[in-house]
A and B are shown apart, each in its own frame.
Chain A
Amino acid sequence: MDIAILLAVLKRTLIAGTPLLLGTLGEIIAERSGVMNLGVEGMMSVGAVTGFIVTFTSGNPYLGMISAVIVTAAFSQIHAIVSISLQANQVVSGLALSMLGIGISVLWGKPYIGRPLHSKFGEISIPFLSDIPFIGELIFNQTLFFYLALIIGFIAWFMLYKTRPGIALRSVGENPKASEAQGISVVLYRYIAVGIGGALAGLAGCHLSISYSKSWIEGIVAGRGWIVIALTIFAAWNPAKAFMGAFLFGGIFVLQYLLQPLGISPSILAMLPYVTTLIVLILFAIGKESRKKLHAPAMLGEMYRRGER
């Protein structure tokens, strides 16, 4: 393969993997606190539509990005209220959030279908580093979202393992009773964790609409929110391990386009990410049988009630 084509493919892979990475980091933080949020698909849709509308009307993509983050974080609190305070089943609550988010995004986005975005994120070259052959163009000449994903990934890992609030967050997901006894507010930590998950899903979603495809279409998220939940498992709830999974799946999204000239039906190619998700889940489960070995937070999906024995 020509080196220029290889570079283009790899670069596209990193761009396609960026929203998956951001979403996965958010879900890791939420699930580490013990709250499984199946609403990622809906949250990413809300982020995508908010980002697009604000960017389109204001002409400022940064404003669009910030709005997407804030709106989606607020939207995620529906799941927090219902599943943490009202102790509803997290699976059902998360599904409701997904349906709601998809519905709202379609309803709000309708007038914007087919409208091109004029103001968008350009590539930012990092001085000196971007001059390195190959690597420079691949990694240091990317959009803001890519850099943000890398930085947030590092911060998430550092916070979770090296700082007091991060350790408290993990303990909330592992043993909420003991955490409460130490004066940690389980409910507060879980609300914040869900909110961070929402903010990152919003960032991931607006990447799709204002940077990746630069237009609004119905179903723009296309199942990425569900793939994120699978990636959270592959990453064993560790931000450092999220990178590989996210970019691997980014590659699979790119592969669809690469294989098209071979005459394979687009419908069959469109199955690729979903089939790969299943295959990887199966291989992963065979490799690591029990939940313990997977390092899942012990209280994941379990509701918590204060003062209960």
Chain B
Amino acid sequence: MKYSFKIINNDSYTRTAAIAALALSLVCGFIVIGILFLAKGINPFYAVWKIFSGSFGSSYGIKETVTKSIPLIMTAAGLTVVFRGKFWNIGSEGQLLLGAAAATWVALKIGQSLPSPLVIFCMIIFAAIFGALWAIVPAFLRARLSINEVISTLMFNYIAAELVSFLVIGPWKGTTKYGYPYTDDIPASVMLGHLPDSRIHYFTLILAVILSIIIFYMLFRTKFGYEIRVTGENREAAKYAGINFLKTTLLMAAISGAMAGLAGFGEIAGIHLHLTSPEIISSGYGFTAIIVAWLGKLNPLLTIISGFFFAGILVGGDAIKLSLGLPAATVQVFNGTILVFLIIGDFFLKHRVTLIKIRQ
């Protein structure tokens, strides 16, 4: 007698089971993160407490969490589209940076001479276009030449980061900022307003939520959304159904890139007010958005919630960074661990595993 595992698909899981699997994944993830902290000689309960009290425990923390959720919600909503279509756009980080650069450029060029609503409108359009362009090129390479989009979008991230570094120390370096890698500040008239006593640029927040709802509608209620999902689930079937692979891939990449670009616009017009080093502009939003999209089950309405949750982890990460002296990239440990447990949880939700005997 020999024993073996038999794996059966189980697609008829309940909503309760789905939520339980999610909760259990997060709990297991945090246990492992705790063990990693313990191995570093840090009390894991203290660290996790510090993270959550830092982000959700005070009114300052909650305001910062909302502020950081804006780029995450925006970017993740776009990622739900491409991930449903199985186009693995890992380049949100670069698309966000390009959007930020484009928005800054527009504001500095025409900000003084044109009425501010028009300038802001142009900033939004340019940020979206440049973000989209940075995604369309890899999409074209994928659809036409079968070039792995994971590699190409990542290469585009590195190139975008170096490009922004080049601009802020070279041709775009501000005339009023001595010694710093900054461009000049954008005109005060195009800076986005904040909610009282916070950095919450509510215009971008509202825009992110509205666009998330539109993307939800597009994904699940329109023919184009259906085509994206069919392309993702079965490319062969999509071909036979007459779905144009090139067009679908380009469009979904454009949406995702544009959303990341808009997140970049928000960071410039709402937070930084000038373009500066890439790691200050983004602090890894593009990568964290991948987990946000996954945690939100690739549903643009749920990513609003998961975006808020992960923004809390980012803010809490800043808190432990200060109090425990940890490096910024520690957040990647959270991202990686939680993503691993999310996909494990997904497996146990969608499959039934039983131990069976095999007769030799």
User: CA of A129 to CA of B294 in the docked complex: distance in angstroms?
Assistant: 56
Q: In the complex, are the beta carbons of B141 and A285 less than 8 A apart?
A: yes
Tell me which of A3-11, A94-102, A160-168, A206-214 binds B. A94-102
The 8 Å CB contact of A278, one of B155, B334, B340, B344, is B155
Q: Contact mask A128-140 → B, CB, 8 Å, 1/0?
A: 0000000000000
Asked if B169 is an interface residue, CB under 8 A from chain A, the answer is yes
User: CA of A290 to CA of B329 in the docked complex: distance in angstroms?
Assistant: 39
Q: In the complex, are the beta carbons of B152 and A278 less than 8 A apart?
A: yes
Q: Contact mask B311-351 → A, CB, 8 Å, 1/0?
A: 00000000000000111011111111101100110110001
Q: In the complex, are the beta carbons of A218 and B327 less than 8 A apart?
A: yes
User: CA of A132 to CA of B334 in the docked complex: distance in angstroms?
Assistant: 53
Q: Which of A249-289 contact B (CB under 8 A)?
A: 265, 267-268, 270-271, 274-275, 277-278, 281-282, 285-286, 289
User: CA of A92 to CA of B82 in the docked complex: distance in angstroms?
Assistant: 13
User: CA of A78 to CA of B344 in the docked complex: distance in angstroms?
Assistant: 11
Asked if A55 is an interface residue, CB under 8 A from chain B, the answer is no
The 8 Å CB contact of B90, one of A95, A107, A274, A282, is A95
Asked if A58 is an interface residue, CB under 8 A from chain B, the answer is no
Q: In the complex, are the beta carbons of A96 and B343 less than 8 A apart?
A: yes
How big is the A interface, by class?
35 or more
User: CA of A84 to CA of B290 in the docked complex: distance in angstroms?
Assistant: 22
User: CA of A229 to CA of B151 in the docked complex: distance in angstroms?
Assistant: 7
Q: In the complex, are the beta carbons of B326 and A107 less than 8 A apart?
A: yes
| Chain B residues near A96 (CB-CB < 8 A) | 335-336, 339-340, 343
How big is the B interface, by class?
35 or more
User: CA of A107 to CA of B7 in the docked complex: distance in angstroms?
Assistant: 37
Tell me the smallest distance from the CB of B134 to a CB of chain A, in Å: 12
Consensus secondary structure, chain B interface: helix
User: CA of A282 to CA of B159 in the docked complex: distance in angstroms?
Assistant: 16
Tell me the smallest distance from the CB of B116 to a CB of chain A, in Å: 32
User: CA of A157 to CA of B239 in the docked complex: distance in angstroms?
Assistant: 38
Contact A265:B170 (CB < 8 A) given known A102-B329, A103-B336: yes
Q: In the complex, are the beta carbons of B330 and A78 less than 8 A apart?
A: no
Asked if A184 is an interface residue, CB under 8 A from chain B, the answer is no
Tell me the smallest distance from the CB of A6 to a CB of chain B, in Å: 28
Asked if B12 is an interface residue, CB under 8 A from chain A, the answer is no
The 8 Å CB contact of A103, one of B6, B162, B334, is B334
| Chain B residues near A289 (CB-CB < 8 A) | 145-146
Contact A99:B339 (CB < 8 A) given known A91-B88, A226-B154, A267-B162: yes
Asked if B166 is an interface residue, CB under 8 A from chain A, the answer is yes
Asked if A104 is an interface residue, CB under 8 A from chain B, the answer is yes
Q: In the complex, are the beta carbons of B166 and A267 less than 8 A apart?
A: yes
Asked if A298 is an interface residue, CB under 8 A from chain B, the answer is no
Q: In the complex, are the beta carbons of A285 and B147 less than 8 A apart?
A: yes
Question: What total count of A-B pairs have CB within 8 Å?
Answer: 140
User: CA of A110 to CA of B146 in the docked complex: distance in angstroms?
Assistant: 40
Tell me the smallest distance from the CB of A72 to a CB of chain B, in Å: 15
Q: In the complex, are the beta carbons of A93 and B340 less than 8 A apart?
A: yes
| Chain B residues near A267 (CB-CB < 8 A) | 162-163, 165-166, 169-170
Q: In the complex, are the beta carbons of B332 and A103 less than 8 A apart?
A: yes
Asked if B36 is an interface residue, CB under 8 A from chain A, the answer is yes
Q: In the complex, are the beta carbons of B141 and A281 less than 8 A apart?
A: yes
Max chain A C-beta neighbours (<10 A), residue from B332, B347, B351: B332
Contact A271:B150 (CB < 8 A) given known A99-B332, A107-B40, A218-B327: no
User: CA of A100 to CA of B337 in the docked complex: distance in angstroms?
Assistant: 6
Asked if B198 is an interface residue, CB under 8 A from chain A, the answer is no
Q: Which of chain A's residues has its CB closest to B39's CB?
A: A108
Contact A100:B332 (CB < 8 A) given known A86-B347, A267-B163: yes
| Chain B residues near A268 (CB-CB < 8 A) | 162, 166
User: CA of A285 to CA of B140 in the docked complex: distance in angstroms?
Assistant: 12
Q: In the complex, are the beta carbons of B336 and A100 less than 8 A apart?
A: yes
Q: In the complex, are the beta carbons of B145 and A285 less than 8 A apart?
A: yes
Q: In the complex, are the beta carbons of B343 and A88 less than 8 A apart?
A: yes
Q: A282-B141, A282-B145, A291-B146 are in contact. List 6 more A-B contacts (CB 8 A).
A: A88-B346, A92-B343, A101-B336, A226-B151, A267-B162, A282-B147
B residues apposed to A, CB below 8 Å: 4, 6-7, 36, 40, 88, 90, 141, 145-148, 150-152, 154-156, 158-159, 162-163, 165-166, 169-170, 287, 290, 294, 325-327, 329-337, 339-340, 343-344, 346-347, 351
Q: Which 5 A-B pairs give the minimum distances between C-beta atoms? A: A100-B336, A103-B332, A103-B333, A99-B336, A285-B145
